[in-house]
Chain A
Amino acid sequence: MEKFFFRLAAIATIVFLQAYFFASFSFQGCVVSFALMAAVAWTIISGFEKAWVYAISLGILVDLLAFDAVGKNAILFIFAVYIVSFISRRLLIESQGWSFLLVFLLIISVTFFNNFLVINFFSWQGGAVEFFSGGMASFFKGVLTGSFCNIITFYFLYWAIGRMEKRLAFYESAVNIK
């Protein structure tokens, strides 16, 4: 039960930081996808089996706080988590030398996929999307600048969530021994 509340508090903290802290910082028109990077980090640390629930919870809370249609970010996050789940933790973090490049490629892929789905949602809801008349360049620019912001937050969240999960696992094993 304590683990549940601990994780709930972590999810709430991540979403509040996304909605109320990072919303004020815009780099070249891009805002850090703090909640998305948390979902990605959680998938690498805990695997898809556990992380998909956290991803959906993060998505729903972001939708509620961002006044988006509820479900939009939940769908975006679950697809991102599904893509990430094919990359094992060992390959991504523990391989010497190539790990940073792999992480960067992963973040670019997730950011690209997320931005692409956002544009499709926007277009489907009646917004005008000029993708092929100059819009493509600004789309890819957005992906690159977004990836740059996201990679820094990913490393921080990977460390923070990794520590939290280790603590919870240690606490669980301590309780079992008792």
Chain B
Amino acid sequence: MFKSFSSRKIFRVIAVAIVFGFLIFWNPNNFFDFFRGIIFRVAYPFQKVLFISSDGTKQLGIFLSSIGDLKTENAKLNDENLRLAAENAMLRDMKKENDLLREQNDLFLRDRFEAQTAQVIGRDVHGVGNWIMIDKGSNDGIAEGMPVVVSGRNLVGYIKNAYAGTSQVMLLSNPESSINAQAGSNEAKGIVKGEHGLGLILDDVLQTDRINVGDEVTTSGIGADMPRGLLIGKINDVYASPDHLFQRATVFQLIAPIDLRFVSVIKSGQ
């Protein structure tokens, strides 16, 4: 009787569900990381080619669908460019002055980061935007916890897993992500948490601290897991937490992590 039952489809389904259910419950992450590392090594050349093709196809689609808006967008960007060029010139002067003053007062220069540039070669398979993969790994000096930035000091995430030649970057919008941050000129302290690829929340801000729409949110450097001063985003909306003990704010990132192609990993510095 057992033989006839064991040859049935349902037996196989139940057996598979039990075995893999046990594996999920046991959840030996480190055990499967070894096999992941091997598969990533094998998949690396295909990964790069496929990802670049998909990105190219996507960009072509976006271009074709936005042809009508190009003229307006172009004019807007030209104006923005001029404004930013003027602002850039002013900031360059201020930076020179700042560096000089820091040297004279024996302080470290602000931009002393050792960074490794990497290309994005993979995205969250489920399309939720929780992580990306880059083409640098432990062989290039990448380690878990290192911050990942774009365009200088825009924080987009940190290294979650480093394999030999590739690394997984947990994006700030990942619900598991939690970064010590500060907002506004008063440096109101809080924690930036991810919301399933949809956006960021600045949480646990004291009611006595003042935060406003448009304030910049940066890393606070508390806990020494992230350097201080990396830009996370700007405040979009401020409201009370459900228990009314703290303030919360939605934070929008100036860079859309889903469109990233190149990033920098900060290996050391301040």
In contact, A23 and B32 (Cβ under 8 angstroms) = no
> Which residue in chain A gives the minimum CB-CB distance to B47?
A20
In contact, A21 and B53 (Cβ under 8 angstroms) = yes
Interface residues on B, range: 35 or more
B78 CB to nearest A CB, Å? 29
Interface residues on A, range: 20 to 34
Complexed CA–CA distance, A30 and B128 (Å): 9
B124: which A residues are within 8 A, CB to CB? Answer: 23, 66
Among the 9-residue stretches A71-79, A157-165, A169-177, the one with 4 or more Cβ atoms under 8 Å from chain B is: A71-79
In contact, A82 and B127 (Cβ under 8 angstroms) = no
A78: which B residues are within 8 A, CB to CB? Answer: 12-13, 16-17
> Which residue in chain A gives the minimum CB-CB distance to B161?
A67
Name which of B10, B13, B39 has the most chain A CB atoms within 10 A of its CB.
B13
B262 within 8 A of A: no
B10: which A residues are within 8 A, CB to CB? Answer: 82
Q: Name A residues whose Cβ lies closer than 8 Å to a Cβ of B.
A: 16-26, 29-31, 48, 52, 56, 61-62, 64-67, 69-72, 74-75, 78-79, 82, 85, 127
A-B contacts besides A65-B43, A67-B36, 16 pairs, CB < 8 Å = A16-B46, A16-B47, A18-B125, A19-B125, A20-B46, A20-B54, A23-B122, A24-B51, A24-B58, A24-B123, A26-B127, A65-B36, A70-B24, A71-B23, A72-B20, A79-B17
Q: Name B residues whose Cβ lies closer than 8 Å to a Cβ of A.
A: 9-10, 12-13, 16-17, 19-21, 23-24, 27, 32, 35-36, 39, 43, 46-47, 50-51, 53-55, 57-58, 121-127, 131, 161, 168, 175
